[in-house]
Amino acid sequence: MEKELELNDLYDGFRNPEVMKAYAKLIEEDASKLDKTINIMEVCGGHTHTIMKYGVPQLLPSNINFIHGPGCPVCVMPKDKIDSAYALAMQEDIILVTLGDMIKVPGSNGSLQDARSKGADVRFVYSPMDCIKIADENPSKTVVFFAIGFETTTPMTCSLLKTVIAKDMKNLYFHVNHVTVPEVMEVLVQSDDCKIDAFLGPSHVSVISGSKIYEPFPKKYNKPVVVSGFEPVDVMQSIHMLIRQFVENRSDLEVEYKRLVSFEGNLKAQEMIDTYLKKVTFKFRGVGEVPLSGYDLKDEFDKYNAKVIYEKILPKETPKENKACKCPEILKGVAKPTDCKIFGNVCTPTNPVGSCMVSSEGACAAYYKYGNLLK
Ligand code: SF4
Ligand code: SF4
């Protein structure tokens, strides 16, 4: 009888140590032809975790260096947004709903988890559509969905709004904090302290937006981009593709993650985003204000917009950041978690001081979990 296909069977080839070693050899051969160090920014937190978890830096020659980027939606959320979420959560009639790790990020008054310990009704969901059930089950309360995420999760928020409108629901509002990748990458390559030579392009984001969003980087800024899958063999193959470009003196946009990413992306999802959202300036933690890098509801949907409805109770002041925390520098790619003096002593996953230690995609969390491999 034929063996039934198991989930692991799908991954195994992409985690095969022999294949990784073979790529390491190819990379070493090519890197030895270069007379400089190549700094590769992996924009996405998912890649940071793969790189740390599978010991990728240890497999590579010393002239290939990783710079961790601003690609984790939880890490890049500035403190004032956390404070807004906290203020909403502390309203008696509000149930604040958000995604996973967001509830652990410290704000000026504490995290959403702290708000919960003070009696606030804060819930996290895996799918935004779960908000419908929560709102239906609590007709006397107002559900505010604190929406976060890059291009990957944005269409799901739009889908939720579509359903809310179709059902004519009166007790579900949105506080939208979606962000987009290329604009913040552009700010980084234009900054004076930029050390980035090439990009490992995010994968989930590219499934939605298509690889077309990275077109300016190889041509305008001379920074090669390879859109990579998440598995360690994907990452090794993508690094090889990048190093090949340097050996051949090319600067191109290439896609390694061809099994899911096309040039145009998911047009239906893009249309959905265009229907409900408008582009706005977003203040990234560490990087600062980036024009047209965020989304908010279009004006015609103001009656669902918690930022408009609760304007009076949302904090206006800019909160002070903890000076010891190096998250801003880490998110800009100019520091590593180990450059932070309180990494692993004061700041740990159970007592996170900054967002990069909270999120499961954060660079500090990855170093804390897998950093022993670096020694
Ligand atoms: S949502 Fe996907 S692409 Fe974006 S940071 Fe997370 S893992 Fe990376
Ligand atoms: S270790 Fe903690 S305090 Fe230091 S940069 Fe990372 S999150 Fe911030």
**Ligand 1 mean position to 74 CA, how many Å?**
10
pLDDT per position as a tens digit, 309-366: 999 999 998 888 888 999 999 998 889 999 999 999 999 999 999 999 988 789 999 9
What's the pLDDT score for residue 284?
94
Q: Looking at the predicted structure, is the pLDDT value of residue 375 above 60?
A: no
Does the C-beta of 205 come closer than 6 Å to ligand 1? Answer: yes
- Shortest CA distance to 244 belongs to which of 231, 232, 254, 234? 254
Does the C-beta of 362 come closer than 6 Å to ligand 1? Answer: no
Q: CA-to-CA distance for 186 and 171, rounded, in angstroms? A: 39
Q: Looking at the predicted structure, is the pLDDT value of residue 12 above 70?
A: yes
Closest ligand to 202 CA?
1
- Whether 339 and 113 have beta carbons less than 8 Å apart is answered as no
**Ligand 1 mean position to 77 CA, how many Å?**
14
DSSP state of 90: T
Does the C-beta of 326 come closer than 6 Å to ligand 2? Answer: yes
**Ligand 2 mean position to 370 CA, how many Å?**
15
Does the C-beta of 353 come closer than 6 Å to ligand 2? Answer: yes
Which protein residue has the closest C-alpha to ligand 2 atom 6? 364
- Whether 364 and 337 have beta carbons less than 8 Å apart is answered as yes
**Ligand 1 mean position to 36 CA, how many Å?**
30
Q: Looking at the predicted structure, is the pLDDT value of residue 277 above 80?
A: yes
Query: How many residues are recorded in the chain?
Result: 375
Average pLDDT, the chain: 94
pLDDT per position as a tens digit, 101-116: 899 999 999 999 999 9
Does the C-beta of 334 come closer than 6 Å to ligand 2? Answer: no
- Shortest CA distance to 333 belongs to which of 287, 370, 293, 375? 287
> Which string of b and e fits 302-321 if b means at least 16 CB within 10 Å?
eebbbbebbeeebeeeeeee
pLDDT per position as a tens digit, 260-273: 999 999 999 999 99
Does the C-beta of 150 come closer than 6 Å to ligand 1? Answer: yes
Does the C-beta of 239 come closer than 6 Å to ligand 1? Answer: no
pLDDT per position as a tens digit, 182-218: 999 999 999 998 999 999 999 999 999 999 999 999 9
Mean pLDDT within 216-245: 97
| Helix 17-31 and helix 232-247, axial crossing angle in degrees, nearest 10 | 20
Tell me the best of 48, 330, 340, 350 to mutate to test the pocket of ligand 2, counting ligand atoms within 8 Å of each CB and taking the most: 340
Q: Looking at the predicted structure, is the pLDDT value of residue 1 above 90?
A: no
Q: Phi and psi of 148, rounded to 5°?
A: -130, 165
Does the C-beta of 23 come closer than 6 Å to ligand 2? Answer: no
Does the C-beta of 68 come closer than 6 Å to ligand 1? Answer: no
Q: Looking at the predicted structure, is the pLDDT value of residue 252 above 60?
A: yes
pLDDT per position as a tens digit, 57-91: 999 999 999 999 998 888 899 999 999 999 999 99
Residue with tokens 């903890």: 322
Which protein residue has the closest C-alpha to ligand 2 atom 3? 325
What's the pLDDT score for residue 313?
96
Q: Looking at the predicted structure, is the pLDDT value of residue 55 above 70?
A: yes
Q: Looking at the predicted structure, is the pLDDT value of residue 294 above 70?
A: yes
- Shortest CA distance to 296 belongs to which of 186, 89, 98, 154? 154
Q: What share of the chain is helix, strand, coil (3-state, %, to 5)?
A: 45, 20, 35
What's the pLDDT score for residue 322?
86
pLDDT per position as a tens digit, 84-102: 999 999 999 999 999 978 9
Q: Is 75 helix (H, G, I), strand (E, B) or coil?
A: coil
